[in-house]
């Protein structure tokens, strides 16, 4: 699966979680996304480092090729919401262009 699709899924699920009293972290774990734990850790680390999510803590574990992740009250940030909005607008623009091309043909 494309990394950007995974990122979008994580952020979209966290955006929906804003309406919920409690959020089950299992919905954004590597098993639910169908990716390896190593890839998931790296993606979550990038999302946290870039400020798209908060509540993610990087734990360096001796003897592991990649760090561990602890998530506690993980939430999407304003920057993450902006990413979703921009991504959605680009998708709509792409669909519009595709529709115009199909119409012209």
Q: What is the CATH number of the domain that holds 57?
A: 1.10.10.10
Give the pLDDT confidence of 11-26 residue by residue, as tens digits.
Answer: 999 999 999 988 899 9
- The count of domains in the chain is 1
Alpha helices in the chain (DSSP H): 3-16, 30-33, 37-49, 78-104
Give the pLDDT confidence of 25-80 residue by residue, as tens digits.
Answer: 999 999 999 999 989 999 999 999 999 999 998 887 776 666 778 888 899 999 99
What is the model's pTM? Answer: 0.79
Domain span at residue 95 reads 3-104
Cα(43)–Cα(47) distance, integer angstroms:
6
């Amino acid at each position: 699966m494309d990394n950007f699709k995974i990122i979008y899924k994580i952020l979209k699920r966290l955006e929906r979680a804003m309406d919920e009293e409690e959020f089950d972290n299992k919905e954004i774990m590597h098993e639910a996304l169908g990716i390896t734990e190593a890839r998931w850790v790296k993606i979550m680390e990038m999302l946290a480092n870039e400020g798209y999510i908060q509540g993610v803590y990087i734990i360096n574990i001796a003897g592991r090729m990649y760090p561990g992740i602890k998530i506690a009250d993980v939430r999407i940030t304003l920057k993450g919401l902006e990413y979703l909005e921009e991504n959605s607008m680009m998708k709509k623009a792409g669909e519009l262009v595709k529709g115009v091309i199909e119409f012209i043909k």
